[in-house]
């Protein structure tokens, strides 16, 4: 099937707003030094804003640290012992997403009402309390309550940050700006795994509490407000002042304001449900929801939350903590690669490339685990029949190929961070105008979190039902389905004004 670069597969161009009038935004009047300074300011704003998503990355990956410690040393900060079941380890990952659901229901309205910046500050409070409860946890329920509160912070912060980044960026590098969140998440993955090697799980939680307070109480209050949100609220003069700093002094700011108001005028003063359930708007939501479903049942969140356990069940012969950290370094490499190519090749091509890598990785990983299991069962059968110890040739052969699960899990990690793990979030901001963006993001977040919870909570049951090899093939099948889905349904947004 040929991939098309049009706005949508059918060739329609009314699905999204017109091209951004700021695409050629810098005139000759702006000197090179002024332009570099402006880009440096924008980069600083983006990096400061994405400290919140970095804490999200830490949160979603932290169960690996906890699971590793529970295998070797179950002690708490009080030198007591924790008893944790496999079901509770599954729930340690999914509870983060469950905790975000009640907040997500109202976060869209809060972000629209209070503004993006203020909500970033507010979310740091439950996040810090949650991490402190985890650090002081003397039993599993107390740790889970902390995870719920971290999820609540994630629910509000995610919508505020994603809306903000989409609204302060030029169309020509909006994809890169939006996907900086994934790079910072990747740094969070590596950071928490590295800290977990050198310190116990409760000390890592104390570090994370300080981290989210740094984001919410230091960086969030000093970034500029969203100009798009200000325009929708009727504060055009303040918005133009910010636009001069972000887009340069010679841009036609009046025309930018006029275009954004035009793209939102149909939704201003109209009940959200009436706008959302219009056929074209609801179709956009269904496309994004389908991507979230495919992504989660392709194992995207499972890999992030259970990489250590997956390596253990795959017959890994190397140090699991070091290998887990390498896997998350590959996740980061995928996010950086995505930033470099996203605004060049487009969203749809990134998604397809991502899913192809997942199909390859899961196919080989499942085959390796299947053959390894069959070999182990045959050795056990021969041992019982002959009452003799095998000569060790099988285990030697297995050890010669024990690098396969690591390499294939790295392939899966790279593929997921290249597209399917992050692009549904970007499209959920690009498919909808400023007026309804936070509310639609709330609905998309609920959809994403519900499918994440299901995928994470079903990890152990599906592994028991399908065997580890069957589970990997199951994920690979969903990845293959995602390729077809992307080619048929996903609309391209590269270089398009999002209103």
CATH of the domain at 415: 1.20.1250.20
Asked if the structure places residue 46 within a domain, the reply is yes
Q: Of 81-95, 193-207, 369-383, which one has max mean pLDDT?
A: 193-207
pLDDT at 306 over 80: no
Which pair of structure tokens corresponds to residue 4?
């098309």
Asked if the structure places residue 496 within a domain, the reply is no
Task: Please compute, for residue 384, the number of CA atoms within 13 A of its CA located in the half-sphere on the CB side.
Answer: 5
Residue with more model confidence, 189 or 4: 189
Asked if the structure places residue 180 within a domain, the reply is yes
Segment 9-20 shows an average pLDDT of 41
In contact, 424 and 452? CB cutoff 8 Å: no
Which pair of structure tokens corresponds to residue 117?
């910046």
> In this predicted model, what pLDDT tens digit does every residue of 466-497 receive, in sequence order?
988 898 999 999 999 999 999 999 988 887 76
Helix (H, G, I), strand (E, B) or coil at 419: coil
How many folded domains does the chain comprise?
Answer: 1
For the chain, state the CA radius of gyration: 24
The vertex-117 CA angle with 344 and 292, nearest 5°, equals 50
- Lookup result for tokens 């996903």: 490
Residue with more model confidence, 71 or 30: 71
CA dihedral 97, 100, 101, 105 (to 10 degrees): -150
Task: Please compute, for residue 50, the number of CA atoms within 13 A of its CA located in the half-sphere on the CB side.
Answer: 22
| pLDDT score of 318 | 53
Q: Is the dihedral of CA 211, 213, 217, 220 positive or negative?
A: positive
> In this predicted model, what pLDDT tens digit does every residue of 369-399 receive, in sequence order?
888 765 544 443 443 344 443 444 344 444 5
pLDDT at 121 over 70: yes
Q: Of 2-11, 83-92, 216-225, which one has max mean pLDDT?
A: 216-225
> In this predicted model, what pLDDT tens digit does every residue of 397-427 receive, in sequence order?
445 666 777 788 888 888 888 889 888 988 8
Asked if the structure places residue 13 within a domain, the reply is no
If you average pLDDT over every residue of the chain, what do you get? 79
Rounded Cα–Cα distance for residues 408 and 388 (Å) = 35
Asked if the structure places residue 151 within a domain, the reply is yes
Rounded Cα–Cα distance for residues 372 and 366 (Å) = 10
Q: Give residue 339's domain range.
A: 32-489
pLDDT at 19 over 80: no
| pLDDT score of 10 | 41
Range scoring the smallest mean pLDDT among 43-47, 122-126, 168-172: 168-172
Asked if the structure places residue 7 within a domain, the reply is no
| pLDDT score of 499 | 58
Segment 66-86 shows an average pLDDT of 85
> In this predicted model, what pLDDT tens digit does every residue of 346-358 receive, in sequence order?
889 999 999 999 9
pLDDT at 124 over 90: yes
Helix (H, G, I), strand (E, B) or coil at 432: coil
Q: Which residues pair with 81 in a beta bridge?
A: 75
Asked if the structure places residue 3 within a domain, the reply is no
In contact, 216 and 53? CB cutoff 8 Å: no
- Lookup result for tokens 């098309």: 4
In contact, 87 and 421? CB cutoff 8 Å: no
Asked if the structure places residue 14 within a domain, the reply is no
């Amino acid at each position: 099937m040929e991939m098309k670069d049009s706005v949508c597969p059918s060739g329609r161009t009314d699905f999204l707003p017109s091209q951004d009038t700021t695409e050629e935004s810098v005139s000759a009047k702006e000197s090179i030094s002024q332009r570099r300074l402006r880009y440096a300011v924008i980069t600083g704003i983006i990096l400061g804003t994405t400290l919140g998503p970095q804490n999200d990355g830490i949160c979603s990956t932290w169960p690996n640290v906890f699971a590793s410690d529970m295998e070797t040393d179950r002690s708490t900060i009080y030198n007591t012992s924790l008893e944790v079941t496999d079901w509770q380890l599954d729930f340690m990952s999914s509870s983060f997403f469950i905790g975000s659901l009640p907040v997500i229901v109202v976060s869209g309205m809060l972000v629209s009402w209070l503004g993006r910046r203020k909500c970033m500050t507010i979310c740091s409070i439950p996040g810090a309390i949650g991490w402190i409860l985890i650090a002081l946890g003397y039993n599993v329920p107390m740790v889970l309550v902390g995870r719920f509160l971290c999820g609540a912070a994630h629910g509000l912060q995610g919508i505020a940050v994603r809306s903000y980044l989409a609204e302060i960026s030029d169309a020509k590098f909006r994809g890169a700006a939006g996907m900086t969140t994934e790079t910072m998440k990747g740094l969070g993955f590596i950071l928490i795994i590295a800290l977990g090697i050198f310190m116990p799980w409760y000390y890592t939680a104390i570090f994370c509490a300080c981290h989210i307070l740094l984001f919410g109480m230091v960086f969030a209050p000093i970034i500029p407000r969203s100009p798009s949100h200000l325009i929708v609220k009727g504060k055009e003069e303040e918005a133009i002042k910010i636009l001069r700093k972000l887009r340069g002094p010679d841009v036609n700011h009046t025309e930018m304001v006029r275009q954004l108001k035009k793209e939102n005028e149909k939704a201003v003063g109209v009940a959200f449900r009436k706008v959302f359930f219009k056929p074209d708007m609801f179709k956009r939501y269904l496309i994004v929801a389908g991507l979230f479903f495919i992504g989660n049942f392709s194992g995207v969140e499972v890999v992030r939350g259970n990489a250590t356990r997956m390596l253990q069940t795959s017959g890994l012969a190397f140090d699991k903590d070091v290998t887990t950290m390498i896997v998350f370094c590959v996740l980061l490499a995928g996010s950086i690669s995505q930033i470099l190519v996203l605004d060049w090749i487009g969203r749809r091509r990134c998604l397809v490339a991502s899913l192809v890598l997942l199909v390859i990785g899961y196919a080989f990983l499942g085959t390796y685990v299947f053959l390894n299991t069959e070999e182990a069962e045959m050795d056990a059968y021969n041992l019982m029949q002959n009452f003799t110890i095998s000569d060790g040739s099988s285990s030697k052969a297995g050890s010669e190929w024990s690098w396969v699960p690591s390499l294939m899990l790295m392939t899966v990690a790279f593929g997921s961070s290249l597209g399917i793990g992050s692009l549904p979030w970007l499209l959920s901001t690009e498919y909808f105008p400023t007026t309804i963006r936070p509310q639609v993001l709330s609905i998309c977040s609920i959809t994403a979190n519900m499918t994440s919870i299901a995928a994470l909570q079903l990890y152990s049951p599906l592994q028991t039902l399908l065997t580890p090899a069957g589970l990997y093939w199951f994920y690979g099948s969903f990845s293959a389905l995602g390729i077809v889905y992307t080619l048929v349904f996903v609309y391209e947004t590269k270089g398009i004004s999002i209103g």
